[in-house]
Amino acid sequence: MCEKCSPDQLHPLAPSRRSVVLFAASTLGLMLADAANAKDTKTPPKPQNVLSPDAALKKLMGGNARYVDGTSRRHDFKHEREALVGGQNPYAAVLSCADSRIAPEYAFDSARGDLFVCRVAGNFANDDTVASMEYTVAVLGTPMILVLGHDNCGAVDATIKSLKDDKPPPGHIPSLVAAIAPSVKASAQQSGNALDNAIRQNVIDNVAKLKSAAPILNAAVEQNKLKVVGGIYRLATGKVELLS
């Protein structure tokens, strides 16, 4: 076939394979962008939970004050369930001990979809709890995290005794001891009650661990999108005392 009779000359308006591919790619890109924009502009399930870190902490502690006073609100769980079927946007996350006397949802007078809670004996941040906190911050947009210790923590007390007696506890409990041991050792030279000191130090250390967890949590803290604080739940009163 001569040059004058080439396919491009016979069909000058026919798109080339390259242009078709580029067009398809650009169309797909626009579709993905539209989907992302639609997600970004979608009204959150609980608009009242879209808060700054400071406002989230204030709301959390306001709920604790109501709980302590015995004036907890009546929550409409039926309609909250319906609103939360398609998603969630908790205003705070709590890393709490698994102790049966500590119930963050009650202690902060919260409703469904308000708190993203991780619980483990000794309220320490391991890979799983850090990953969970990364999820709630990066995906759900949660603006604050509270590490919540409490009086007379059995996990911390067991760690103190294990280190003192140089005797590991049975079963899988040594994994808890290993996680809490650095805080117990760090507080060993402090004056006062050894258990109280270790409980406080454990909270402080895990706040620091979450604040510095790269690459997600530390970046959110640096950008003032996330506040990480610590507190102690008092069993006798239900009051949560924040640590400075």
Query: pTM for the whole thing?
Result: 0.82
> Percent of the chain at pLDDT above 70?
83
Which has more confidence, 37 or 96? 96
The band of 203, judged by pLDDT with boundaries at 50, 70 and 90, is very high
The pLDDT assigned to 146 comes to 98
Secondary structure (H, E, C), the chain: CCHHHCHHHHCCCCCCHHHHHHHHHHHHHHHHHHHHHHHHHCCCCCHHHCCCHHHHHHHHHHHHHHHHHCCCCCCCHHHHHHHCCCCCCCCEEEEECCCCCCCHHHHCCCCCCCEEEEECCCCCCCHHHHHHHHHHHHCCCCCEEEEEEECCCHHHHHHHHHHHHCCCCCCCHHHHHHHHHHHHHHCCCCCCCHHHHHHHHHHHHHHHHHHCCCCCHHHHHHCCCCEEEEEEECCCCCCEEECC
pLDDT per position as a tens digit, 56-72: 999 999 999 999 999 99
The band of 130, judged by pLDDT with boundaries at 50, 70 and 90, is very high
pLDDT per position as a tens digit, 142-200: 999 999 999 999 999 999 999 999 999 999 999 999 999 999 999 999 999 999 999 99
91 has a pLDDT exceeding 90: yes
The pLDDT assigned to 36 comes to 43
